[in-house]
Amino acid sequence: MHNADTDVLAGHTVEAGTDILVCPYLTHRDPELWPGPEHFDPRRFLAPGGRPAHPGAYFPFGIGPRACLGMQFALREATVLLEHLLPYTPAFDSVPEKAEHGITVRPAGPTLATLRPPRT
């Protein structure tokens, strides 16, 4: 639904019909939302209050009516994959030094690893 009037958003005048894009890369690294935003700390999602309560603070699958259609599938797929991979120990042959920025951030190039089976 479109509002036909000019509006003010976060102090900025926005003309009617203006396209506004959100940038997960920047929001996910906003120090006003995330303590130590550059620090890889998956446990922050486990600790109570470890992630901002604001629903717009974290949106790896996008947000709003055009958010990722495959989100539930992807989360389930990742859980199943992890369940199979966790017993193995990966030995990385090389790790890409750069990231590729597209609709998601991903390693720029292959990340080859050898999986060592669990000791029996």
Stretch that binds ligand HEM, among 5-13, 31-39, 59-67, 86-94 (CB under 6 A): 59-67
Is residue 72 near ligand HEM by the rule CB under 6 A? no
Report which secondary-structure segment, H or E, holds 26: helix 24-27
Among 6, 14, 35, 73, binds ligand HEM (CB under 6 A): 73
Query: What phi, psi does 89 have (nearest 5°)?
Result: -105, 120
Q: Closest separation between CB of residue 43 and ligand HEM, Å?
A: 20
- Dihedral Cα 58, 82, 86, 88, nearest 10 deg: -120
Stretch that binds ligand HEM, among 26-34, 48-56, 65-73, 105-113 (CB under 6 A): 65-73
User: What token pair was written down for 78?
Assistant: 């990742």
| Nearer of residues 4 and 23 to ligand HEM, judged by Cβ | 23
Q: Do 27 and 33 contact (CB within 8 A), yes or no?
A: yes
d(CA 97, CA 60): 22
| Nearer of residues 48 and 65 to ligand HEM, judged by Cβ | 65
Is residue 70 near ligand HEM by the rule CB under 6 A? yes
Contact positions with ligand HEM (CB under 6 A) in 34-53: none
Q: Nearest-CA neighbor of 109 among 97, 118, 117?
A: 97
Which positions touch ligand HEM (CB under 6 A)? 60-62, 66-70, 73-74, 103-104
